[in-house]
Structure 1
Amino acid sequence: MNKNEYIAIIGDIYDSRLLEDRKKVQKNLLNVLDSINKKYQKEIVSKFSVSMGDSFQGLLKISSPFMQIIFDIQLELFPVEMRFGIGIGEITTTIDSSNSQLNDGPAYHHARKAIEFIEQSEQQYATRKTNIYLSDQRERKEMDLINAIFALNKAINSKWSNRQTEIIKSYLSNNENQYETAHALDIGQSSVSKALKSTNFYAFLSSIKDIQAYINRADGERG
């Protein structure tokens, strides 16, 4: 990858107008994005900000933990369902670090293309095929495999219950340690283990780590 390439992320909320408490969800979204901007400030080139209504966007370094960031947002807003378009490419404008909406270039164009693909797939299938899609300026064939993994992951995490998601969230915030998680939630370690296994979480987590590592490694090899 070129050193001038970035990762643009555009996200939005499914059927936001149908939410029972849309204002509360919007407020939560603002709080989550603010937290993400602080937590990953060294990796963020242009802060995540709400672009219109229930949509948001941000710009990241090509070497950033972009999958971890997306998963963090998903967990914090669960059970609200979201779409994420990921675009890899250049930025052709002067980068504004505080307002992502003022930036433009192929990275954003491909992120929008990815969101549009998700929306089109929803119209073609009775059930949602995927909620994350990656589009690359270089249009490499490997992206097809990555997007297939995203679709499989959607089939996995769409079945997680509120309680299972709570355990997963605690597990990640407790050093991925089952005993620390059990202590934090005041439950048995066996309950944590059962939840992680029944949700196929280890396979899910491994896949997003591998995707992230592949993009980061490709950056190092071609930068």
Structure 2
Amino acid sequence: MARASAAVIADIVGSRDLADRSAAQEHVLHAFERAEVHAPAAVPAYAAVGDEFQAVYASVEHAVVATTVVGLSLPEGLELRFGIGVGEDRVVDATGTVPIRDGSAWWRAREAIDHVKQAQRSGRSRATTGFVPDGGSEEKAVRGLLLLRDHVVSGMRPRDRRIALAGLEEVPQARTAEAEGIRQSAVSQSWHRSGAAAVVEMLRQLEGARS
């Protein structure tokens, strides 16, 4: 039996209100490319219909790492929603520039992102990521992890996110401070106050899981 894949669907929040949608799409693709260093994709992210992006990962762990790095990498004012679905991924039409993919992983990813949209529109939740598994026992644990991650990352200021990424990429705090034009003590304070230290530790734990 083929191993299940983790399909990821992402879409830009409020894309119609963006001044430059083309530039926004480039930022998103660049963010996914940055995530490749930490969680290589089985199918690297590509632009699909409208302001939607799709990618495939070999495990849920790598999908969580990738979507976290993407969220941290986006510039201020640009936000994504994510749907992660576990199951079968297959190509149903390879004749076009971008192959058309289908399978239960995609049905579940679509269900997951639709649930996030509905919850946001109704005001029930500010979570930006949905998750639908293939019947495994990890559902509640992964959903809880994603809920906490979304809460922490959404509360970060742009500088906090840059500091988190620098820490993940093992950039010395002195160099980060110089790049940000602040003191090293301010970098250290952001690292702990914003939740960056906990997010980066989570990512490091997941990076080597089930590659």
Class of the TM-score when normalised by the shorter of the 2 chains: 0.7 to 0.9
Distance in 2 separating the partners of 1:152 and 1:28: 25
- Answering whether residue 164 of structure 2 is matched by residue 165 of structure 1, we say no
Computed over aligned residues only, the root mean square deviation of the Cα atoms, in angstroms, reads: 3.1
Aligned length: 209
- The one-letter code of the counterpart of 1:200 is G
| CA deviation after TM superposition for structure 1 residue 131, in Å | 0.7
Report the equivalent of 1:16.
Answer: 15
What SS is found at the alignment partner of 2:48? strand
Cα distance in 1, alignment partners of residues 174 and 2 from structure 2: 41
Instruction: Give the percent of matched residue pairs that are identical in Structure 1 and Structure 2.
Output: 24
Partner of 2:102: helix, strand, or coil?
coil
Query: Structure 2 counterpart of 1:168, which letter?
Result: A
Counterpart residue number, 2:143 = 147
TM-score (norm 1): 0.77
Where do 5+ consecutive residues of structure 2 fail to align?
none
Cα distance change of structure 1 residues 20 and 95 upon mapping to structure 2, 3 Å threshold: closer
**1:188 CA drift (Å):** 2.7
The Cα shift of 1:156 comes to 1.8
Deviates more, 1:160-169 or 1:108-117: 160-169
Query: How far off is 1:57 after superposition?
Result: 0.1
Closer, same or farther in 2 for the Cα pair 1:132/1:99, shift >3 Å? farther
**SS of residue in 1 equivalent to 2:156:** coil
Q: Does 1:191 align with 2:186?
A: yes
Deviations 1:41-81 (A, max 9, x none): 99322231111121100112238733332122222223211
Indicate how the Cα distance of structure 1 residues 211 and 167 shifts in structure 2: closer, same or farther if over 3 A, else same: closer
Query: If the length of structure 2 is used for normalisation, what is the TM-score?
Result: 0.81
The letter for the 2-side match of 1:117 is: H
8 A Cα contact 1:13 1:82, kept in partner = yes
Distance 1:69 1:95, change over 3 A: farther
Amino acid corresponding to residue 122 of structure 1 in structure 2: Q
